[in-house]
Amino acid sequence: MSKFQEQIKSFNRMYNLPCNDSPRLPEGYQAAAQRIRDFMKILQEELEEGNELIDKLAVVTPLPEILAEIADWLCDIQIYCASEMRKFGLDNDACLNTIMLSNFSKLDEDGNPIYDSRGKLLKGANYWPPEPLLREQITHQMRIAVQQKLDE
């Protein structure tokens, strides 16, 4: 587990947030749906803070100051996401690794990236979706958790 993930676990525990070590829906499907709704509202608030950054960029702000604010904003979003992953007992590092491997498969037939008009990377002919591998990883993590309980 990375240092960042250890800090996320400490953070969730410190603030009495769910902190599961194995994949689960701790309060069932309906509660998970509500958790996702609430999380989306939190992310929307964070995204709206991006408008404040856009306004600051309209005025010449000292470079270290604006970059520090951008870093703070982007890190807050990452921390919210990592904390939410821990609530569901998902291994953030393993999941991110899988997503990155999938992202590397988005190149076209000639090995070149494909972008839309906004600069978003699009899926090429060799793209493979991450969900099957994520399911395998999560199932494996769940089996380990069950085995550890049996061994206790």
Number of domains within the chain: 2
For residue 15, what is the domain's CATH number? 1.10.3420.10
d(CA 123, CA 105): 8
- What pLDDT does 43 receive? 96
Q: Are residues 85 and 10 in the same domain?
A: yes
**How many residues does the structure list for the chain?**
152
Same domain, 129 and 80: no
72 vs 19, 50, 65, 139, CA distance in Å? 24, 11, 11, 34
pLDDT digits (tens, 9 = 90+) for 22-31: 999 978 999 9
Beta-ladder partners of 115: 121
Residues 66 and 116 in one domain: no
At 152, is the pLDDT very low, low, confident or very high (cuts 50, 70, 90)? confident
Considering the domain architecture, whether residues 11 and 60 belong to the same structural domain is answered as yes
The 10s digit of each residue's pLDDT in 74-84 is: 999 999 999 99
**pTM beyond cutoff 0.95:** no
pLDDT of 133 > 90? The answer is yes
Average pLDDT over the chain reads: 94
